[in-house]
Each structure stands twice: as C-alpha cells, then as structure tokens.
Amino acid sequence: MTGVAVPAPYVDPAAPALLAGAPTPRRALFLDRDGVVNVDHAYVHSEAETDWIPGIFTLVAEAAAAGYLPIVVTNQAGIARGLYDAATFERYTAWVHSEFAARGAPLLATYHCPHHPTAGIGGLRVACGCRKPAPGMLLRAMRDWDLSPSASLLLGDQPSDLAAARAAGVGRAIEVRGGRLPDRAALTLGGAGSGRGPAVPGVSG
C-alpha cells in the first residue's frame, strides 16, 4: 500500500434519490465492469466496443429493489498504459451510467484504478492500493457512502475481484463465469449457492 490516492468516483445524477431510498445499514452490490457489466473485449472505452452482459440491467434493478446500492469498481490499466486518457474514461463512464438509468436501473457510482505497477506511464506506474486485488476502491466506497462491508455483495469474473472483496471484508462474493450472471435468489444474503455463479469458499456468508 502506498500513499497514492484512489481517484474520485464518477457519481450518478440519481445518487441522492438512490441514497434516500436505501435501507440501513447501507449495502452495496459491487460490480466488476469487464466481464460482468460488459463483455471483456480488452480495454473497452467506447460505445462501439460495448456489448452488455445478458441480464445485467435486470440484475441491477432487482438488486436495487432488494436494497443494494449498485457500484462499479474497475481496474483501468488502459489509462495507465496511455491507451486512452482519464477524460475519455469519464465520458464513457457517464454514457454507461446513462444507459443503466434509461433502463430504470441506475448505478450509484463508478470507481476506477488508473495505475499499473509495471506498465504504467509516468506517475501511473506505481504499486497503488486501489488496483484489484488490493481493496482500495472498495474501502473508499465504503467510506464515501457509509456502507456495511459484511452486508455487501460483489460480483466479479477474476480471482483478483474476489480477493479484493475478501480483503475489504465484503460479506459475499460471487464469481461470474462466461458471462453467466447469478439469478435473483443469489442476491439475497444467506442465499449462497442459489445462484448459477458459485459462492466463493472463505468469502461466502
């Protein structure tokens, strides 16, 4: 862990309404992006490259109805490598949020890590505390939104996602394999094993 700060999140315009309607203690549905929200075509940063994971809008809407605040946490080594810049990422993120909002499934916020320990350019070449498997993005989100770690849930498609969840004390993490999202029952805490995505040993409830 270094002194490198986790970048400020993109916060959805619907955030006040989402927070006002959320039960306490507040709980998050943390979503990795590539492989969970959109198909991982590597360094996706434009509308043209975006193929949504089937069922993601329904899942987010159902999670919100169950009291979860949907928050995206994404490693963005493409920024570190200079493939696109932070402004491009922010514009794309705003578009992703607008697509969710248009389907009645608004996201609360998106956190990203623009660093990489070996491939980053200039100051972005750093061993930060936010690049998953480090828990920095999750920990910042918990502080920013006063979230209960143990009541929160994470969906990810990589071991680094699940490790970050474990390090941050997230109550449950579900591995998404091959773009197959868990079903609605898996969103209920204590419902481990009811989804198609297996709960992860050592992380599950």
Question: Active-site residue numbers?
Answer: 32, 34
Task: Report if residue 34 touches Mg ion, rule: CB under 5 A.
Answer: yes
Question: DSSP secondary structure string, 94-144?
Answer: HHHHHHHHHTT----EEEEE--BTTT--GGGBS--SSSTTS-HHHHHHHHH
- Closest to Mg ion by CB, 149 vs 156, is 156
- Closest to Mg ion by CB, 22 vs 114, is 114
Cβ contact 137:113 at 8 Å: yes
The distance of closest approach from Cβ of residue 160 to Mg ion in the complex, given in angstroms and rounded to an integer, is: 8
Count residues binding Mg ion (CB under 5 A). 4
- Tokens 């306490």 identify what position? 24
Strand partners, 174: 155, 199
The partner in contact with residue 157, picked from Zn ion, Mg ion, none with C-beta cut-offs of 5 to 8 angstroms by kind, is Mg ion
Q: Would you give the binding string for Mg ion spanning residues 113-152, x where CB under 5 A is met?
A: ----------------------------------------
Site residues, Zn ion (CB under 5 A): 113, 115, 128, 130-131
Secondary structure of 160-195 in HEC code, one letter for each residue? HHHHHHHHHCCCEEEECECCECCCHHHHCCCCCCCC
The distance of closest approach from Cβ of residue 137 to Zn ion in the complex, given in angstroms and rounded to an integer, is: 8
Q: Which helix (H) or strand (E) holds 75?
A: strand 68-75
Among 32, 120, 152, 173, binds Mg ion (CB under 5 A): 32
Write out the binding residues for Mg ion, residues 156-185 only, by CB under 5 A.
157
Cβ contact 189:153 at 8 Å: yes
The distance of closest approach from Cβ of residue 158 to Mg ion in the complex, given in angstroms and rounded to an integer, is: 5
List of residues contacting Mg ion (CB under 5 A) = 32, 34-35, 157
